């Protein structure tokens, strides 16, 4: 694999091209094709000789710590989420302005639930029915804990806002039922419906359907893909007014006419890697089957991904440790919702049925027009998702429907832009909240 550790990230995109997204304040940049052209990095297999050569540095977690993590997981899985949330100044005990709690809402007849972290003002300035709501939805293989820096720093403006972060059905610390679908036997739309019905039940049970104009949803990666299609599923009763699509997956097919050098062009993954992908055999499978060494294997991704949080400050060091252990715990839990991936994306990250074909086209003008959504598309300036698709769809929404849609490039950020540049990202969210 040309960028070895990105095999853990699994989602990727093609090169961006011409656009002029609007960015807040002093960070405004006119984006041209030359400025934002990036080397694609499709997920593919790491050569065995490269694994052997690099193995000491690939998985930096000490064996003793990895064994301890495994024993703690066997004893109590919930402790991993709790210890991460406890790095916040308002959990489990409230601060002067905020209080928070974990809520589990049953969303089907089998008792399966969606896990939620909810932050509320201590003294709301408006009645309960007038509160505004910001909902965080994660991407593939992730969980609500990855938004830890956003929870801490986003204000509950004028004590009028609640923040809800959820684990998608079958993800994170939501219940993990046996996934009832198998690729390619089952239909993609049936799989999408499975998620959408449970999400809609959650919105309903949490009393978020009464005033959808007060709801803003921020969804990341594969979560963006699901929430964009949720718009189509529940077109007659919208659940929110604004949808912020953060490094969205599955928007469009890769541009085959890119102008990058031969070395930067996409290479097809080997046939056996495609077979593993389609059978949902992933790095998570390796973590689950490695028992005491699962946390060590997870560190091949988590230490590199979260190391910028570890800056010498004791509090941040504790958070880094908690974030790694949290990542290990959700990777090690039973596979369930993650199996959406093989239905939604081909091996290498190419969508099987892009959003441009399913939703953002002339056939669906009435569906999109009836609810008059507002859209925001966010990409990191070193993202591997294809910004071209977001630009094209945003233009479609502007010109065909006269709907508000904009594209913003987040500087110094990759796919996990909400964490890579949390201050810039949070400022964008606050700006959007002020518009509600």
Residues involved in catalysis: 221, 383, 415
Give CA–CA dist 193/427, Å, rounded.
Answer: 33
Contact 415, 221 (CB under 8 A): yes
């Amino acid at each position: 694999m040309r960028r070895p550790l990105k095999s853990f990230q699994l989602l990727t995109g093609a090169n961006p091209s011409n656009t002029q997204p609007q960015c807040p304040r002093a960070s405004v940049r006119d984006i041209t094709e030359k400025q934002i052209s990036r080397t694609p990095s499709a997920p593919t297999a790491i050569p065995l000789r490269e694994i052997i050569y690099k193995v000491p540095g690939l998985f930096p977690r000490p064996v003793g710590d990895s064994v301890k993590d495994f024993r703690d997981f066997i004893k109590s899985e919930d402790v991993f989420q709790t210890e991460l949330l406890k790095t916040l100044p308002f959990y489990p005990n409230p601060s002067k302005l905020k209080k928070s709690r974990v809520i589990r809402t049953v969303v089907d007849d089998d008792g399966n639930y969606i896990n939620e972290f909810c932050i509320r003002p201590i003294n709301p300035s408006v009645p309960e029915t007038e509160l505004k709501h910001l909902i965080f939805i994660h991407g593939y293989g992730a969980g609500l804990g990855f938004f830890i820096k956003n929870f801490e720093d986003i204000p509950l403006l004028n004590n009028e806002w609640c923040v809800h972060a959820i684990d998608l059905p079958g993800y994170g610390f939501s219940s993990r039922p046996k996934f009832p679908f198998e690729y390619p036997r089952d239909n993609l739309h049936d799989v999408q419906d499975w998620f959408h019905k449970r999400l809609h039940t959650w919105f309903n049970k949490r009393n978020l359907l009464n005033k959808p104009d007060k709801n803003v949803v921020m969804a990341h990666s594969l979560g963006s893909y699901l929430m964009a299609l949720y718009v189509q599923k529940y077109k007659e009763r919208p659940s929110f007014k604004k949808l912020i699509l953060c490094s969205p997956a599955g928007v469009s097919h890769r541009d085959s006419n890119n102008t990058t050098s031969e070395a930067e062009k996409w290479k097809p993954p080997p046939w056996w890697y495609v077979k593993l992908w389609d059978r949902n055999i992933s790095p998570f499978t390796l973590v689950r089957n490695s028992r005491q060494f699962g946390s060590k294997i997870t560190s091949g991704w988590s230490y590199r991904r979260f190391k910028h949080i570890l800056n010498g400050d004791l509090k941040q060091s504790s958070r880094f440790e908690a974030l790694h252990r949290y990542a290990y715990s959700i990777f090690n839990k039973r596979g369930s919702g993650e199996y959406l991936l093989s239905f939604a994306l081909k091996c290498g990250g190419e969508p099987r049925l892009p959003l441009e074909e399913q939703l953002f086209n002339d056939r669906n003008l009435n569906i999109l027009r009836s609810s008059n959504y507002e859209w925001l598309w966010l990409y990191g300036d070193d993202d591997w998702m294809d910004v071209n698709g977001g630009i094209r769809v945003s233009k479609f929404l502007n010109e065909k429907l006269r709907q508000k849609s904009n594209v913003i490039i987040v500087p110094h950020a990759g796919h996990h832009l909400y964490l890579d540049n949390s201050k810039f990202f949070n400022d964008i969210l606050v700006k959007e909240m002020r518009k509600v």
